[in-house]
Amino acid sequence: MSKNSNSLLAFVIGAGVGAAMGVLFAPDSGSNTRDRLSYRLSKYKKELEDLIEELVEGKELHLNEAKTEGKRVISEAKNKAENLLNDVNKLIDQINKDN
């Protein structure tokens, strides 16, 4: 994970813990507190699931980009090797003709 995604994840977790602590220590009845806490936790759970999904999609995107770049580099190296081989073969043919 990158620093930004780690920071964002830490922020979301910190916000969730802070909200839970605020709700737990608020002067309200137990059932109201539990209902509010349950609602907020389900809301944060959904946000966290969305964040994880975005991170996974981003990771897949980076993998796809890396694969594409790798294929491009391999293709260029193959072309250069073929050109070099052709040049060597031409030089060998010239040497053989001169002898």
User: What integer pLDDT is reported at residue 79 of this predicted model?
Assistant: 82
Give 33-65 pLDDT, tens digit per residue.
Answer: 777 777 877 888 888 888 777 777 766 666 777
Give 4-16 pLDDT, tens digit per residue.
Answer: 667 777 887 888 7
Radius of gyration from C-alpha coordinates of the chain: 30
pLDDT greater than 80 at residue 2: no
Closest alpha carbon to 13 in 53, 39, 51: 51
Residue 14 amino acid letter: G
